[in-house]
């Protein structure tokens, strides 16, 4: 590569409460936003927009979606009034010929709960790409590869999910079940080894039962597949926020570049 592209990120987002709380996790997000090159726009690929077919949000002023229940009023009062990026949305739709534009979609908490820390001024255009739940991991990786050129245009691509995510197994406090720790450690090592094929075939990483425990449904892992596809083979990979909480949530995050 003759010029360095914009880095790309996979961020473990965890509970929506991370939007409100000041913790080592949210502090790492704030420091990251201060050290990254300033992006022209941000493309979020969140675990919380699941569709049939690929959609690209093209709202001029996307609303803040409070897509959760049972949390404090202060969380529902939060807004992230970043502008949209309809012209970039059209460009992305051209890169992904089977995709469609969605002119009404706002930003779900998988996007804004991170961005309130990364870019609290909310002055960088943001749009989202949906997870097409009909795609295989290999096809999602291929979609990421088609998006990789955006990094050379100053677009920050962020996949938002969790490498371990089982809401049915949650317990109070920090720490993790042995099966969650084992899966998370294996994912982390494969990321550093650049063994992307092994990660795409994640049910074989440990064993099928462990994989199902870590992901009863896999929408929180899928953004990682897109993100890996957007990577370059010769760029460094950095892991951070490698912390498990509530038994079965991993905040493990990855920076490409």
* Domain at 13, CATH number: 3.40.830.10
pLDDT exceeds cutoff 90 at 42: yes
Structure tokens at 214: 């870590």
246 found inside a domain:
yes
204 has a pLDDT exceeding 90: no
Tell me the pLDDT tens digit for each residue of 155-175.
999 999 999 999 999 998 888
Neighbours of 94 (CB within 10 A): 9
Do 9 and 253 meet the contact criterion of CB atoms below 8 Å apart?
yes
Examine residue 256 and state whether it is found in any structural domain, yes or no.
Answer: no
Overall average pLDDT of the 133-141 stretch: 97
Residue 216 lies in a domain: yes
The residue assigned the tokens 């039962």 is: 209
Confidence band (pLDDT; 50, 70, 90) for 206?
A: confident
Say if 257 falls within a structural domain: no
Residue 1 lies in a domain: no
Looking at residue 86, its pLDDT comes to 98
Number of domains making up the chain:
1
For residues 30 and 213, give the distance between their C-alpha atoms in angstroms, rounded to a whole number: 31
Is residue 3 one of the residues assigned to a domain?
no
What's the sign of the alpha-carbon dihedral 104, 109, 115, 121?
A: positive
- With a cut of 80, say whether residue 1 has pLDDT above it: no
What is the pLDDT at residue 31? 96
pLDDT at 4: 79
For residue 90, is it within any domain?
yes
> Is 160 within a domain?
yes
Alpha-helical (H) ranges within the chain are: 24-35, 73-76, 86-95, 109-118, 137-147, 178-193, 196-200, 208-214, 222-229
**Domain range for 72:** 8-251
How many Å apart are CA 84 and CA 129, to the nearest integer?
12
Q: Specify the pLDDT at position 207.
A: 81
pLDDT for the residue numbered 205: 83
């Amino acid at each position: 590569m003759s010029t360095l592209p914009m880095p790309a990120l996979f961020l473990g987002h965890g509970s929506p409460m991370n939007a409100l709380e000041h913790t080592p996790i949210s502090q790492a997000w704030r420091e990251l936003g201060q050290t990254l090159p300033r992006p022209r726009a941000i493309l979020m690929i969140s675990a919380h927009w699941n569709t049939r077919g690929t959609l690209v949000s093209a709202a001029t002023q996307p609303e803040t979606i409070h897509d959760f229940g049972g949390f404090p009023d202060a969380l529902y009062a939060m807004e992230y009034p970043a502008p949209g990026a309809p012209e970039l949305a059209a460009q992305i739709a051209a890169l992904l010929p089977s995709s469609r534009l969605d002119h009404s979609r706002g930003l779900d908490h998988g996007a804004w709960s991170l961005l309130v820390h990364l870019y609290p001024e909310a002055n960088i255009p943001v749009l989202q790409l949906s997870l097409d739940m009909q795609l295989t991991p290999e096809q999602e990786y291929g979609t990421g590869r088609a998006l990789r050129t955006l990094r050379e245009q100053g677009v920050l691509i962020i996949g938002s999910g969790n490498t371990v995510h089982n809401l049915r197994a949650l317990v109070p406090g920090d720490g993790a079940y042995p099966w969650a720790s084992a899966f998370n450690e294996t994912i982390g090592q494969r990321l550093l080894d650049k063994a992307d094929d092994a990660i795409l075939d994640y049910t074989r990483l440990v064993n099928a039962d462990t994989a199902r425990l870590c992901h009863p449904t896999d929408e929180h892992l899928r953004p990682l597949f897109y993100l890996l596809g957007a990577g370059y083979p010769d760029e460094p990979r950095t892991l951070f926020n490698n912390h498990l909480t509530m038994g079965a949530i991993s905040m493990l995050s990855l920076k490409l570049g």
